[in-house]
Homo-oligomer: A and B are copies of this chain.
Amino acid sequence: MNSSDICISNASVLTMCSEPEYLDSAYIHIKDGEIIYIGNKPPNYIAKKTIDATNCLVIPGFVNSHTHVSMSLFRGLADDLPLMTWLNDYIFPVERNMDSEFVYVGALVGIAEMLLSGTTTFCDMYLFEDSVARAAKEMNVRCLIGEVLYDFPSPNYGPIEKGFEYTEMLIEKYRDDSLINIAVMPHATFTCSDTLLCKAKELANKHDVLLFIHVSETKTEVELIKARYGKTPVGFLYDLGVLDSKTIAAHCVHLTDDDIEKIFATNTKVVFNPESNMKLASGIPKIWEIKRKGITCGIGTDGPASNNNLDMIEEMDTLAKIAKLGSGDPSCLTAKDVLHMATIMGAKTLGLDKYIGSIEVGKRADMVILNMKSPHLIPCYDPYSTIVYSAKGSDVRDVIVDGKLVVENGCLTFMDWNEIKLKAQGFVEKVRLWTKKASSM
């Protein structure tokens, strides 16, 4: 008899691929990080570890397609404020003082939250991204990350030329890494010159990596770019040649019909961030039209300072509901559509669908075991509906990333949360000092 590393038994499985879509009382075997068997018959493997999934639902791990994970350290620091007060009085003073250790610890906090709520892959844009990679490696989570690039000096790399060098360093360093993927990440059209944007795309092409950028998040941004270039942000990026199948555009709240056509024609990928868009009063993206058009789109939580959590189940719920509200049609986007966007479509958005996003033989083993016994999940007439509209991040019992059990019975296995919390405490005191937020009340 052959051996496997992990066997999940008695599993109800939503595979998120078409054949089969659903399995009951199934076995999943994992070896060397890969799914080697899924089916109803107990196969000829002896597993080193067996996880009983009775009364549970097994699904692919969530792909959080846009976040700034280290901002977890200023979660709740300054809510319910106008954007400019938030930026000038809180975020900028902190970011001016920030260093790589701050970003590392912030990433640990955010990754802990993500793993515990079922996210197995995240896409991150921020400063000192090598520290995010370090945290991701230590916690064993998959990611696509990139150093934020813009025209003004960065607290990490200084002038923009150094930013390109830093990005290239990341690309080289993690080229063959099993978990860490690097993208080129210019911030947005209003913070990056056309020269910067073109150089960024050249760099991405040179190394055959993705480019990630914020696009048309707010009306103000669209108006500013129109005034500056006589084009929408999408039109501007299109004319620069930045849009193609290896570019990811986050937010896309304010798109014209022509913008949607250009995104479709270039096979550009889109990420929706509904909770952040609501909290910052940015608007409702035309999710239903973009989806119907056949554009590949994922879901992201955005950073924990503008959400304020990293829970993909909550984000799915909000996305489905905001699409109904925005379109006026309760049937415009189904729970199944949304779970696709949070798993296999998210993986496709990040260029990782060859490896992850569904539960099939040959793919890397990134999956989540949801405990389905709680009152808020009873009854379950349709598992897609139950996950999207009723479940919570806390229903996640076990999480496997790249074949490793990273969450077991609701606890992290790779790092002690109390240790992370202790590390975070020191930086929280600094943030209070930097922003003169003296007390917790």
Binding site for B on A (CB under 8 A): 21-22, 72-83, 109-110, 112-113, 116-117, 275, 277-284, 304, 307-311, 314, 317-318, 320-322, 324-325, 327-331, 333-335, 373-376, 378-383, 385-386, 389-390, 392-395, 417, 420-421, 424-425, 428, 431-432, 437, 440-441
Residues of B within 8 A of A417 (CB): 375
Q: Are B440 and A308 in contact (CB under 8 A)?
A: no
Q: Are A381 and B281 in contact (CB under 8 A)?
A: no
A-B contact pairs, 5 of them (CB 8 A): A80-B333, A80-B334, A109-B378, A279-B324, A280-B330
Q: Are B76 and A390 in contact (CB under 8 A)?
A: yes
A191 to chain B, nearest CB (A): 20
Residues of B within 8 A of A379 (CB): 73-77, 424-425, 428, 431
Query: A112-B375, A392-B392 given as contacts; is B382 within 8 A of A76 (CB)?
Result: yes
Query: A281-B325, A329-B281, A334-B80 given as contacts; is B380 within 8 A of A116 (CB)?
Result: no
Residue in B327, B383, B385, B431 whose beta carbon sits within 8 Å of that of A281 in the complex: B327
A207 to chain B, nearest CB (A): 34
Give this chain's copy count.
2
A113 to chain B, nearest CB (A): 4
Considering the chains assembled together, what is the distance between the CA atoms of A159 and B386 in angstroms? 36
Task: Give A324's nearest chain B residue, CB to CB.
Answer: B281
Q: Are B382 and A441 in contact (CB under 8 A)?
A: yes
A251 to chain B, nearest CB (A): 14
Residues of B within 8 A of A441 (CB): 21-22, 382-383
Q: Are A440 and B309 in contact (CB under 8 A)?
A: no
Considering the chains assembled together, what is the distance between the CA atoms of A382 and B77 in angstroms? 7
A175 to chain B, nearest CB (A): 31
Residue in B74, B113, B325, B395 whose beta carbon sits within 8 Å of that of A376 in the complex: B113
Considering the chains assembled together, what is the distance between the CA atoms of A325 and B276 in angstroms? 10
Residue in B79, B112, B317, B390 whose beta carbon sits within 8 Å of that of A389 in the complex: B79
Q: Are B325 and A284 in contact (CB under 8 A)?
A: yes
A51 to chain B, nearest CB (A): 21
Q: Are B117 and A324 in contact (CB under 8 A)?
A: no
Q: Are A381 and B440 in contact (CB under 8 A)?
A: yes
Residues of B within 8 A of A374 (CB): 113, 116
Q: Are A280 and B324 in contact (CB under 8 A)?
A: yes
Task: Give A325's nearest chain B residue, CB to CB.
Answer: B278
Q: Are B321 and A278 in contact (CB under 8 A)?
A: yes
Considering the chains assembled together, what is the distance between the CA atoms of A116 and B378 in angstroms? 14
Considering the chains assembled together, what is the distance between the CA atoms of A317 and B392 in angstroms? 14
Considering the chains assembled together, what is the distance between the CA atoms of A282 and B75 in angstroms? 31
Residues of B within 8 A of A282 (CB): 325
